[in-house]
Structure 1
Amino acid sequence: MEALSVRSVSSPLSLLGTPKPKRFGVRFQQQDSRNRALARKILRNWKQEGSVDRNTCMDCVALIRTSIRKNLPNVAKEIFLEMKSEGFLLDDSSLSALMLCYAYNGLFLEAQAIWDEILNSSFLPNIQIISELIDAYSRMGEFDEVIRILHQMNLRDSTLLPEIYAVALSCFGKRGQLERMEDTLREMISKGFVVDSVTGNAFLIYYSIFGSLTEMETAYGRLKRCRILIEKEGIRAMSFAYIKRKKFYRLGEFLRDVGLGRRNAGNLLWNLLLLSYAANFKMKSLQREFLRMVESGFNPDLTTFNIRALAFSKMSLFWDLHLSIEHMKHEKVVPDLVTYGCIVDAYLDKRLGMNLDFALSKLNVHTSPQVSTDPFVFEVLGKGDFHSSSESFLEFQRRKNWTYKELITTYLKKKYRSNQIFWNY
């Protein structure tokens, strides 16, 4: 890269040298002196720590980026000026780093000045710098500046435009700016750029998080018309939107529309369908769809079994619960804390604690506890009392090598003490 011209360095930074009102002059001078002193100290330490190469700008970029993390934009400016005055070869990457330092610290006028200066030069920023600048603006809610960057890059007819549009869409989506996201997408399509699978699925995910169900379903319809396959992340996002609003029938319709026979999604679609029935304890439908899943050639996983186990436990269907455990053993699926909790809660709720040893005899209670069930199950069916209590023990107790046996023993003592307190009152 060519070294910066005097104009490209001095022009944007000259904005920082505008005269201050006299009554604030002393305070600003003191602050500038402190910043300059700190910059010189940082440079001195850097020189002492390693070799100094005045023909590279990488050290300057690294020092400025350190100032970004420490929220010291004015110190970054002083580092830049000090290194320039000492004869270091500084190019546009150093100036870009300073621009990002300003943007991430909310100094938008200074960042804009450097950005405009870069665009007026022959230097074209790479996609990483543009992405970081757009991200900095969107974090601060400066969405008009993101649109301004898009328009400026359009005027330059950059080959990076498709990537820049994708970054802008992502930033608008993450901040819930759905209308701006729509406008940007329309502009992108009008210029002949193709919406790929990543962008299309991201678009759908943002609507599932920030939009209404109708808007989300409209976005899904557009995805289908463009023959873009909805990926697992998109399926999960839409399903959570239905679950959050307790629209389990519509969830089932969506899953069937996606296609329960899809192999690239694993058991995700079937597990979500089973969950839609378990949510309302439609046990016959739950059993029917489980049999259909097995007949279709899908092997039930831990999440599949725990969805059924939770439903059986809450409905006190002991026989079905034991058959499900036997099936797990036959399929060589290792139970987790959720599975043990289903058995413990079912028996204790019906005051059958004396039979708990028999109920757990088919499971290995001497292994270390773990939770491997997909979290979306808890969004619908919640966590059982044993599961919640055990997680508290595991998190706050100093012991590291718990077993299921020890957790169950501790939980039974806790329940016994709470019952004693209840009857004493």
Structure 2
Amino acid sequence: MGRPINLDEDLLYEYGLNIMYTVILYMFNNVVYIYFWKKYKDRLFSTAHLSRAIAGGIGVSILGIFLCRLLEAIFIEGETFSIFIAGERVQYYFVSFVISMVVTAIFYFFYYYKCKKEKQVKEQKIIARTASAQFDALKNQLDPHFLFNSLNVLTSLIEENPEQAMKFTTALSKVYRYVLEQKNKELVTVDEELAFAKTYMTLIKMRYEDSIIVKIPEKSVNPEAKVVPLSLQLLLENAVKHNRVTPTDKLIIEITEENDFLQVKNNLQEKQVIKKSSGVGLYNIHKRYELLTKKGVQISKTDDHFMVEIPVLTRRVEYVKSSADFLSDKKYARAKEHVEKLKAFYIHLFMYLVAIPFFIGFNLLSGSFPWAIFPIFGWGIGVLFHAADVHAWNPFLGQNWEERKIKKLMDREKSGL
């Protein structure tokens, strides 16, 4: 502030004043950050949401500075409120506001950097585990017992009812066609899955006739909604496998869509079997959803009903089409993301370079103490970390250290299969 530093009461006073500004501004901005983080989570760093958070930070910073100045004037200087208001000027807020905004920007940048790295780790984890997850999915798409029983039904129908046998063969071919079409997809539309469920239950009803009642909606509430492929088949198969299905004990299965979940519910009439179920089907669905979303598969059981709820997602994610397609799509997505990061970095660098002479000029006009070095230095650190993020550079590990580490982990995963 242009004054000499002496170890006296004035220094203690200035220190206490700075602590008051620091604590109040931190608490105000922290409230804003916590609010937006709880509301948007990892979507906070999109342009629209981050703009609202920054605007909120600016608002509370101005309010915090006003409150600090008010406390200083009334409780320390002994001024009245009217005298304080009359003497307020915009320039009194500038230095505190700039320092607050620089610190807040660095704070947001570090959290952005952290979230970005967590997202990259999650994406690479999905890539590394997709092959294993798809192996389990293919293994459990169609139970061998279902195939064996279907062929037995077909054999008997050929002799007893050739027309019904033709319908059965057509439905069975549709089931296998769907399996082959969807085997490499992470998500399919709910409408596709519902249509497949109807075809699949056509086969089941040919075997059990009127002993099964199935209620399946015609369309999804949201045409863009998606689920894990063949999840309904596994759940329907489980319901038939683990419950008595007779003309006297009819199995009633109902599929509904509610609160972003697809519900498969059946009346409970469990078979008395000696061999315990392995639960591989439900485990397979659980693991595939864990790779795609934080929403979990929910299971509820009462004395009368058993229900499984699978999350309905609104964004299509296809991680594996074929080896060539996957690599091509991944390279394009990463190149596009890198271009966006470069654009953001150059805008950030330009704003920093423009702000430096402004800080220096205002410092020269306001006093002899070189306070401008603090925002310039703090902002410069932010620019440095931004450059490190864009160019995948680490001062300790070197260039492209992330790619080298990811390749090493994926090679280790591959060798362990």
TM-score by length of 2: 0.21
Which one has the largest radius of gyration?
2
Which structure is higher in strand share? 2
Highest RCO, 1 vs 2 (Cα 8 Å, sep ≥ 6): 2
